[in-house]
Amino acid sequence: MYKYVIARQLAMKKVISNKGEEIGRLVDILIDEKTGNLEHLIIEVDRGSKLAERLRLRNRIIEVPYSAVVAVSDVCIIDERDIAEASLEEHHHRRHAG
């Protein structure tokens, strides 16, 4: 029940970086089926996001580890370093796929 409440509270929250930059909206979460732990946040990046441009994000949907969450209130605050790492992993997977 507790995790369900957390998931409902996070749904469609605006996501900003710990430096105050708007990133996008939380669109989904990934939960480990065995442990029930929240694993990743699925974020839809806003078009024209300065952070997305700086990190050269090609995909508007990014997966960020739940450990990157700094705080949740009216918005979800994510550590910018974890967004950069997520984008590097995405780039690495794309280069080595196929």
Per-residue pLDDT tens digits for 11-56: 778 999 999 999 999 988 888 889 988 888 899 988 888 877 777 7
Per-residue pLDDT tens digits for 39-48: 888 999 888 8
Long-range Cβ contacts of 78-82 (<8 Å, 24+ apart): 78/15, 78/16, 78/17, 78/18, 78/23, 78/41, 78/43, 79/17, 79/18, 80/17, 80/18, 80/19, 80/21, 80/51
Tokens of 34: 């065995």
- Stated pTM of the model: 0.73
Ordered alpha helix ranges (H), 18-98: 50-55, 80-96
Q: Which fold has domain 2-96?
A: SH3 type barrels. (2.30.30)
